[in-house]
Chains A and B, each alone.
Chain A
Amino acid sequence: DAGVTQSPTHLIKTRGQQVTLRCSPKSGHDTVSWYQQALGQGPQFIFQYYEEEERQRGNFPDRFSGHQFPNYSSELNVNALLLGDSALYLCASSSRAFGSDTQYFGPGTRLTVL
């Protein structure tokens, strides 16, 4: 049973560029959440998708946007990149259909903004 997968593993961009990160949830999961983890910090919640809609959002600007596809996979898009966007981006999946509040994380995408 494949766990949560993310791509790419690493990414280097320059300020002002746009980036798209991808996530496939664990088999049987229908909900995808995205987190940003700055170096030496705990993950911060960005937003959550269920049934192809954004259901919750943390304290992040609208430069951060996302999408969920019918197969439950998800993308995170960040526009107009800033140096401060450099972080590990984590995707987590869970099963809302089964009423579970347990989230399982992928390995993350390391984004470096130069």
Chain B
Amino acid sequence: GDSVTQMEGPVTLSEEAFLTINCTYTATGYPSLFWYVQYPGEGLQLLLKATKADDKGSNKGFEATYRKETTSFHLEKGSVQVSDSAVYFCALNRQNSNSGYALNFGKGTSLLVTP
């Protein structure tokens, strides 16, 4: 079945460092891919999405490109801030032809950015 694999955390970076969080997926068909972020004690916020191969999603300095050839959707940011400390989830949607979509999440990657 469909699945998402994320790199293990926690990831600890200094402020202004470059961030990469790896995400690979297994899916039939052509799912949309998402990154969500969860700040401590909160729900999930949509960070960015891509709906087809070679699409690049971007938001708040974060980017991810839908790579069908490598089945990947790695999250990147050129210069992280302390406020980016959170847990990041990669997800794909599973579409049941008559019943809409359901998200299939990775286990999450915790990011800690230090001053």
Contact = CB atoms under 8 A, between A and B. Distances in A.
Interface residues on B, range: 20 to 34
A1 B42 CA distance: 19
A103 interface: yes
A102 B99 contact: no
A106 interface: yes
Interface of A: 4, 6, 31, 33, 35, 40-45, 48, 50, 55-56, 58, 90, 92, 94, 96, 101-108
A48 B43 contact: no
Contact of B46 (A42, A90, A102): A102
A43 B46 contact: no
Nearest to B106: A42
Nearest to B32: A101
A96 B43 CA distance: 22
B102 A31 contact: no
A69 to B, nearest CB: 18
Q: Kindly list the 5 A-B residue pairs having the minimum CB-CB distance in the complex, ordered from nearest.
A: A42-B105, A55-B99, A105-B44, A107-B43, A101-B101
B107 A41 contact: yes
Interface of B: 4, 32, 34, 36, 42-46, 49, 51, 89, 91, 93, 95-96, 98-108
A35 B44 CA distance: 11
Contacts of B102: 33, 45, 48, 56, 58
Given A43-B105, A96-B100, A108 B93 contact: no
B108 A48 contact: no
Contact of A105 (B4, B36, B99): B36
Contact of A56 (B34, B89, B99): B99
B108 A42 contact: yes
